């Protein structure tokens, strides 16, 4: 069986790393294709270096641009690569433009798609990520939801149970590996010299698209006194400069984007985490850290039973969650059901291929 892994952004590289390492270690027949959606060193190359991953065989170098420009460039360039390589299955992970465009391209070529992290739903169709998730799920033959809620979402949307395989959350493998490595080689936290601090990540398009929204989010932090380390995403940096918000940033300890290992070290030792990232919500829960979600909705509903609080831009909810978070006494969770997810997913794909079931089925899209 020949596998094509299509990825293009920081979270996809991080989460697919365990699967790529297995394919390399076992000398499997696979091809790694990078769309080039993320191309900044701190959002791309550093992760291949830190996680000791092979360089992609293909880099489509689609770069940035409007949705239609980026989406169409991925489809046009990927089509030729897949036609040449002829994989038995295309594996995508997550909810980016690369994921949706990659899944659509493969499906149109008659190549089965396996979607890792399927079924996550924020139920907010204004989010590009929500649109991408739904597209990818409904053109995929094999769906790997990370939790029970995601599985139920897929069933509710009419996807047959026979296409759904609960093999765990692949993010746990990546996070645990990075956490162990961070104890040995991480340096960012030591350079900052902080003992008591929080971490902020903020990059979603809906949070950086207007001055009013970004300014209101940043001003929430004027009401708390804990030092806040802010590894700033290039999109957020550009927005802050465009909207002339640099004076507000003086309240934060702003640093350049950092690698995954350094980031896990920062999160592991923080008193609190503020984020609009989906993955970091899961990592915070795993680490037993209180996490304030700067969004109105979340696709990770199962994490809300612990120390995760969704507050959006609401100052009252923010302060209430902050008070709760500072009193929160969580503990790290091993999540044994999620460990080895990458290996289980590969085993499922091998079995389906061996049984002749890894093929495009006659299904109608909901």
**Which residues participate in catalysis according to the annotation?**
203
C-alpha pair distances (Å), 109 with each of 83, 88, 112, 113, 226 = 8, 11, 9, 11, 53
Three-class secondary structure of residue 292 per DSSP: strand
Strand partners, 272: 198
Torsion of CA 279, 284, 285, 287, to 10 degrees: 130
Between CA 198 and CA 346 the distance in angstroms is 37
> 45, 51 in Cβ contact below 8 A?
no
Rounded alpha-carbon distances, angstroms, from residue 183 to 91, 144, 172, 176: 31, 31, 17, 11
Q: What are phi and psi for residue 261, nearest 5 degrees?
A: -65, -45
């Amino acid at each position: 069986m020949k596998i094509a892994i299509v990825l293009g952004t920081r979270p996809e590289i991080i989460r697919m790393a365990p699967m790529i390492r297995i394919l390399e270690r076992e000398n499997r027949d696979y091809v790694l294709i990078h769309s080039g959606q993320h191309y900044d060193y701190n959002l791309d190359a550093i992760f291949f270096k830190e996680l000791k991953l092979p360089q992609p065989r293909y880099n489509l170098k689609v770069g940035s641009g409007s949705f239609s420009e980026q989406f169409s460039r991925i489809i046009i360039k990927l089509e030729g690569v897949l036609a040449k390589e002829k994989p038995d299955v295309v594996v995508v992970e997550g909810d980016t433009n690369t994921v949706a465009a990659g899944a659509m391209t493969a499906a149109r070529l008659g190549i089965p798609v396996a979607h890792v992290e399927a079924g996550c739903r924020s139920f907010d169709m204004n989010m590009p990520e929500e649109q991408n998730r739904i597209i990818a799920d409904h053109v995929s033959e094999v769906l790997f939801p990370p939790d029970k809620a995601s599985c139920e979402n897929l069933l509710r949307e009419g996807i047959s149970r026979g296409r759904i395989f609960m093999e765990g959350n692949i993010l746990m493998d990546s996070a645990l590996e990075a956490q162990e490595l961070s104890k040995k080689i991480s340096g960012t936290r030591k350079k900052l010299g902080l003992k008591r601090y929080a971490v902020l990540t903020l990059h979603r398009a809906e949070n950086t698209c207007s001055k009013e929204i970004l300014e209101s989010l940043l001003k929430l932090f004027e009401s708390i006194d804990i030092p806040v380390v802010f590894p700033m995403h290039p999109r957020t940096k550009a927005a802050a400069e465009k909207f002339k918000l640099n004076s507000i940033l003086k309240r934060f300890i702003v640093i350049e984007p950092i690698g995954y290992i350094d980031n896990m070290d920062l999160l592991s030792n923080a008193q609190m985490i503020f984020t609009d990232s989906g993955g970091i919500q899961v990592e915070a829960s795993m680490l037993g850290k209180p996490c304030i979600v700067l969004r109105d909705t979340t696709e990770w509903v199962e994490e809300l039973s612990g120390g995760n609080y969704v507050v959006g831009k609401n100052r009252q909810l923010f302060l209430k969650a902050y008070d709760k978070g500072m009193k929160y006494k969580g503990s790290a969770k091993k999540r044994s059901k999620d460990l080895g997810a990458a290996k289980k997913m590969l085993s499922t794909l091998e079995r389906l291929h061996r049984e002749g079931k890894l093929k495009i089925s006659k299904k109608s899209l909901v």
